[in-house]
Amino acid sequence: VLTISDESGEYPIGTHLSYLEDSLRKFTIYDIASGRYDHLFKRVESANANLGFSSSAYWLRLDVDNQSTRQENFFLEINYSLLDSIEIYFDDLDEWLVKKSGDYYPFSKREVKNRNFVFPLTIPTWDTKTFYIKLSADGSPLRLPMTLW
């Protein structure tokens, strides 16, 4: 669990992630969030993890506990431009919503126009939210340099 406080404004999240390899690319957010596959998630061991070359999709899980007085948007930045597809899932009133980006999506469709992939996320004060991030990078190594700010 990544705990946000008023003492810091930037949080490298690599070691707060866990991941699951979806080699057949068959899982949906409902499969992943059901808890049936929790035992298959592995802990990311380094801040700039590299999962190597793979045609698999990877599901990342990030739990964020907002213990700060800040309830405005936070931003998740992925500083790796070779990701083909990024889908960030979050629960909003018992419904899974998704934000999408990556090389397969036009720059003009990005919510935040930045050379890196940046997603605004709302994390209510004194609440813990779980985000699921589905990534793929066909033909490139899958690296995970991510920051929440």
Mean pLDDT of 19-37: 96
pLDDT per residue over 82-91, tens digit each? 899 999 999 9
Please name which of 44, 25, 2 lies closest in space to residue 136, comparing C-alpha atoms: 25
Q: What is the DSSP letter of 129?
A: E
Q: Which two tokens stand for residue 133?
A: 């991030």
Q: Does residue 139 contact residue 8 with C-beta atoms inside 8 Å? A: no
> How would DSSP label each residue in 25-39?
----HHHHHTSTTGG
Residue 72 has pLDDT above 70, yes or no: no
Q: Does residue 14 contact residue 4 with C-beta atoms inside 8 Å? A: no
